[in-house]
């Protein structure tokens, strides 16, 4: 079993460094910190680091580590929730002695010593819980690990709502839910919005565009962000505000990101497969949830035209 091979490799190393992907979401940070806490609790003598940088919405989940380059030469690196080299945050991961990948995205490239890639998992945190359960005789869960793993499960499954949810997702959820972390505090961190953010949500509901083929979309430029005093990360994370509209089968947010100098694109669908469309524009992801970054609003209009054709074909 791959989960046993992963444990054998972890046991071999004194130093383990876990990396997340660029612009990490709670599922990615939950996998990273959850794995760190489990390994540390089970093997207190090991040095386990979770490196990288938070985005605003993951800050509450726990501290990340700053480490020297020299630590990598004798270390095992684990990358979580990411399949391709380009999207791993902090390229020092390549300096590790061996690399393990744990990911639930469709496989795009193989470059690790061990690759555990399985799209049947609704979230990467579900994989980490699975890894723990498969090796329960040797691994220990902690309350902190359970909390961040549960946070990842909640966010990547839309609170156990998306198609990707299986009986296993729910039972793995129950497995960590039983630990005593404060559920209400977790929900507040994940779901409470400021008044400015709530008013922005109202603006989105009133102003999204849609086509007769069932494509919904929203263009959010810097002027709108300034008007509502909203950060691009928050704006793009609101894409699922268009998720439950009877007439809409695919929905896309386009958000200007001054810092990146690009437009963030968030694709979602409950009909047409969209990761090929995302790949056409330099991005990728899951069949019903993908992302990309594009250069200008001209490309945005091309994506809208392509997406609308996909909706039309799907309806046929
Ligand atoms: P997001 O819309 O950012 O929540 O991302 C949805 C899914 O698409 C996630 O699983 C991401 O890993 C993936 N994704 C987002 N942006 C990109 C990108 N630029 N390239 C490849 N995959 C991406």
Residue spans of the domains in the chain: they are 2-190, 197-315
- Which of 263, 274, 284 has most ligand 1 atoms within 8 Å of CB, for mutation? 284
Q: Do domains 2-190 and 197-315 have the same CATH topology?
A: no
- Token pair, residue 77, equals 């690196």
Looking at ligand 1, which residue's alpha carbon is closest to its atom 15? 291
> Is 26 a pocket residue for ligand 1 (Cβ < 6 Å)?
no
> Is 173 a pocket residue for ligand 1 (Cβ < 6 Å)?
no
Looking at ligand 1, which residue's alpha carbon is closest to its atom 11? 285
pLDDT at residue 13, rounded to an integer: 98
Looking at ligand 1, which residue's alpha carbon is closest to its atom 13? 285
Cα of 163 to ligand 1 centre, how many Å? 18
pLDDT at residue 156, rounded to an integer: 97
- Token pair, residue 188, equals 């507040």
- Which of 107, 152, 282, 291 has most ligand 1 atoms within 8 Å of CB, for mutation? 291
> Is 20 a pocket residue for ligand 1 (Cβ < 6 Å)?
no
Cα of 255 to ligand 1 centre, how many Å? 14
pLDDT at residue 159, rounded to an integer: 97
132-189 confidence digits (pLDDT tens): 999 999 999 999 999 999 999 999 999 999 999 999 999 999 999 999 999 999 999 9
| Residue among 23, 260, 6 at smallest CA distance from 134 | 6
Looking at ligand 1, which residue's alpha carbon is closest to its atom 10? 285
> Is 294 a pocket residue for ligand 1 (Cβ < 6 Å)?
no
CATH of 197-315, one of 3.30.70.141, 3.20.20.70, 1.20.1250.20, 3.10.310.30: 3.10.310.30
- Which of 84, 290, 292 has most ligand 1 atoms within 8 Å of CB, for mutation? 290
- Token pair, residue 86, equals 């380009």
- Which of 104, 262, 289, 293 has most ligand 1 atoms within 8 Å of CB, for mutation? 289
Instruction: Give pTM, 2 decimals.
Output: 0.95
- 268 Cβ partners below 8 Å, 6+ apart? 239, 240, 242, 243, 250, 251, 252, 274, 288, 289
CA atoms of 54 and 286, how far apart (whole Å): 22
Average pLDDT, rounded, for the chain: 97
- Token pair, residue 90, equals 């902090």
pLDDT at residue 70, rounded to an integer: 97
CB 145, CB 41: distance < 8 Å: yes
- 48 Cβ partners below 8 Å, 6+ apart? 15, 16, 17, 18, 36, 39, 40
Q: For helices 124-134 and 143-156, give the axis angle rounded to 10 degrees.
A: 140
pLDDT at residue 66, rounded to an integer: 98
Cα of 165 to ligand 1 centre, how many Å? 19
pLDDT lower than 70: segments of the chain = none
CATH of 2-190, one of 3.90.79.10, 2.60.120.330, 3.90.1640.10, 3.20.20.70: 3.90.1640.10
Q: Is 283 left (phi over 0), alpha (psi -120 to 50) or beta?
A: beta
pLDDT at residue 84, rounded to an integer: 95
């Amino acid at each position: 079993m791959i989960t046993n091979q992963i444990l054998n490799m972890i046991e071999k190393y004194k130093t383990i460094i876990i990396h997340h992907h660029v612009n990490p979401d709670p599922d990615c940070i939950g996998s990273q910190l959850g794995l760190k806490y489990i390994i540390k609790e089970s093997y207190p003598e090991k040095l386990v680091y979770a490196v990288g940088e938070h985005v605003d919405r993951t800050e509450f989940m726990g501290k990340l580590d700053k480490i020297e380059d020299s630590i990598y030469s004798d270390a095992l690196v684990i990358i979580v929730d990411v399949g391709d080299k380009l999207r791993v945050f902090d390229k020092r991961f390549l300096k590790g002695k061996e690399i393990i990948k744990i990911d639930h995205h469709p496989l795009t490239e193989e470059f690790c010593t061990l690759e555990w890639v399985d799209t049947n998992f609704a979230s990467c945190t579900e994989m980490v819980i699975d890894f723990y359960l498969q090796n329960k005789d040797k691994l220990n869960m902690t309350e902190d690990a359970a909390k961040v793993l549960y946070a990842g499960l909640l966010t990547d499954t839309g609170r156990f709502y998306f198609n990707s949810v299986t009986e296993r997702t729910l039972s793995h959820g129950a497995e960590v839910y039983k630990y005593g972390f404060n559920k209400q505090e977790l929900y507040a961190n994940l779901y409470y919005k400021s008044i400015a953010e709530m008013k922005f949500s109202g603006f989105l509901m009133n102003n999204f565009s849609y086509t007769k083929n069932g494509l919904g979309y929203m263009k959010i430029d810097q002027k709108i962000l300034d008007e509502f005093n909203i950060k691009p990360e928050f704006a793009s994370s609101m894409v699922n505000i268009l998720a439950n509209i009877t007439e809409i089968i695919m929905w896309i947010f386009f958000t200007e990101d001054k810092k990146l100098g690009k437009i963030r694109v968030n694709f979602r669908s409950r009909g047409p497969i969209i990761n090929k469309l995302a790949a056409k524009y330099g991005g990728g992801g899951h069949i019903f949830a993908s992302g990309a970054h594009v250069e200008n609003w001209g490309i945005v209009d091309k994506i809208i035209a392509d997406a609308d054709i996909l909706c039309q074909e799907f309806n046929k």
